[in-house]
Structure 1
Amino acid sequence: MRVALGVSYNGHAYNGWQSQLSGNTIQDKLEAALGRFATHAVGTLCAGRTDSGVHGLMQVVHFDTPLRRPDASWVRGTNTFLPPDIAVQWARHVPPGFHARGSATARRYAYVLLQSPVRPSVDAGRVGWVYHPLDGDAMRQAASALLGEHDFTSFRASACQAKSPVKTLQRIDISCNRPSAPHPELGWGSCYWRFEFEANAFLHHMIRNIMGCLVAIGMGKQPADWMQQVLQARSRNAAAPTFSPDGLYFLGPVYDASWNLPDRTPPFDWLP
């Protein structure tokens, strides 16, 4: 039997998704829990690996097992053995032709950035932070230069293992959620900025490197058309430093409706 799972996690305490000798990764914790519940070793394949500190609202994995158990049993049973910051949200039996990575037509991420004169507290580790007001129109203008198929070498980490830097960025949405009244002394208020990205695939650190450039433009350190220059340079040295992983969330893959899989989980309603 092939089973697909939707998994959510707070990545702050872990060394990313992919299994490591330390055992302190999301994949290691999930496979250990699955093995205890299934009483046999379980290896998983995911839709998209996330880095250290990056969170997941709906990572999708698949695995094969000889066991026949109800979908709900895979959810409750696996969660019994998972740490409190990782949870299986749903389970589905899928045809043997389904592949968590290969069947995905796109992948979605969100970055939540707190614009505030005061650093994060209750949401520390869950949001990025900037101490300056941002120009949303300038950031949206800059983001439009990235839409479509491009060589994203300028936004690619040196350790990236992708065969090609050419990706198709289908959507970037930028909005200011939950704005507060202006600070009485500074004259500007707090805001949770939400940046949503959708592409056929992403390079290693691609979104965090784009975020570094967008924030530089939003703060007025660079003009909006600088993004086009960075893209055309095809050099990592042309872009801004890699931004913090704290506010980055993997929203999950996109699949054809024929697979009949959920496209969201309850944590979507919690995210600012």
Structure 2
Amino acid sequence: MRNIQIIISYRGTSYCGWQVQPNGVTIQEVIIRAIKELTGETVNLTGSGRTDAGVHALGQSANFFTASTIPPEVWYRALNTRLPVDIRVIRSRECPPDFHSRYNTIGKSYLYKILESPVASPFLADLAFHITRTLDWGAMEEAAAGFLGEHDFSAFMASGSAIKSTVRTITDISFIKRGELSEITFTGNGFLYNMVRIMMGTLYEVGYGRLKPQDIKAIIAGKDRNKAGVTAPAHGLYLKEVYY
């Protein structure tokens, strides 16, 4: 059996997230089906982590074991002939038998897109968070510095997550503004459930003047989800890259 890693880009609009579930079509399910069409095998496809309904990916990582003789570097092309146009495998390779897409992860980066415009774009309706007011980006960048480093991010986790530790390290938050469209990239050693969307929502509150940049450290210290900002919409979020 060979261990194949694939890197996947997808538009999450039409899917109920990454992980297979009984109530709707998911990314994982569609890829497993494509692999079965190619090889006749029903594989266990392990992703680096879940993405919620409506969330996109530029570089999701997953791996599976196969007895197929398809060359590792050919898998991505073979799968794309059987996948819908909103899911693309962009790379494939063979990994050591002990490689695990989730447990071997040492970090991830997420991208969030915001469109500042009086009128929403029909071309970005499901790809960026549309707002009609102008944000104070200087204040947001100042506030973002408060997230950097190792902290207990309890205040930035949605309920319903059963994890042992809420301590994470954020190594970088960068901002790129291209006219009305802005991109904020969050990089760290791991993220809690909805953490990026809550961090983004809190920066959004700073940009509107509802919170001050210096409030970030106090919110982190307080460990109270009610003190942080709103949860930004799922459709502005992209899993950018997974690090090993």
TM-score by length of 2: 0.96
Encode CA deviations 1:130-175: one digit per residue, 9 max, x unaligned.
1111111111111111111101011101012332111111111122
2:81 maps to 1:80:
yes
The equivalent residue for 1:183 is none
The equivalent residue for 2:43 is 42
The equivalent residue for 2:114 is 113
2:185 maps to 1:176:
no
What SS does structure 1 have at the residue aligned with 2:234?
Answer: coil
Task: Say if 2:15 and 2:24, in contact at 8 Å, map to a contact too.
Answer: no
What SS does structure 2 have at the residue aligned with 1:246?
Answer: helix
What's the Cα RMSD here? 1.2
Encode CA deviations 1:171-227: one digit per residue, 9 max, x unaligned.
1112212x1xxxxxxxxxxx2111001111100100110111101101222211122
Aligned runs of 1:9-28 on 2, under 5 Å?
Answer: 9-28=10-29
Range with greater deviation from structure 2 (129-138 or 143-152): 129-138
One-letter amino acid matched to 2:222: A
Question: 1:79, CA displacement in angstroms?
Answer: 1.6
2:104 maps to 1:103:
yes
One-letter amino acid matched to 1:203: L
Question: 1:23, CA displacement in angstroms?
Answer: 4.6
One-letter amino acid matched to 1:225: Q
Stretches of structure 2 that go unaligned for 5 or more consecutive residues are none
Which of these residues, 218, 241, 246, is aligned with residue 207 of structure 2?
Answer: 218
One-letter amino acid matched to 2:127: R
The equivalent residue for 1:56 is 57
Task: Say if 2:13 and 2:56, in contact at 8 Å, map to a contact too.
Answer: yes
Question: 1:70, CA displacement in angstroms?
Answer: 1.4
The equivalent residue for 2:182 is 193
Percent of aligned positions that are identical: 36
Aligned runs of 1:183-262 on 2, under 5 Å?
Answer: 191-255=180-244
Task: Say if 1:109 and 1:250, in contact at 8 Å, map to a contact too.
Answer: yes
2:116 maps to 1:127:
no
Task: Say if 1:47 and 1:252, in contact at 8 Å, map to a contact too.
Answer: no
The equivalent residue for 1:89 is 90
One-letter amino acid matched to 1:197: F
Task: Say if 1:45 and 1:62, in contact at 8 Å, map to a contact too.
Answer: yes
Stretches of structure 1 that go unaligned for 5 or more consecutive residues are 180-190, 256-272
One-letter amino acid matched to 1:198: T
Question: 1:238, CA displacement in angstroms?
Answer: 1.0
TM-score by length of 1: 0.86
What SS does structure 2 have at the residue aligned with 1:27?
Answer: helix
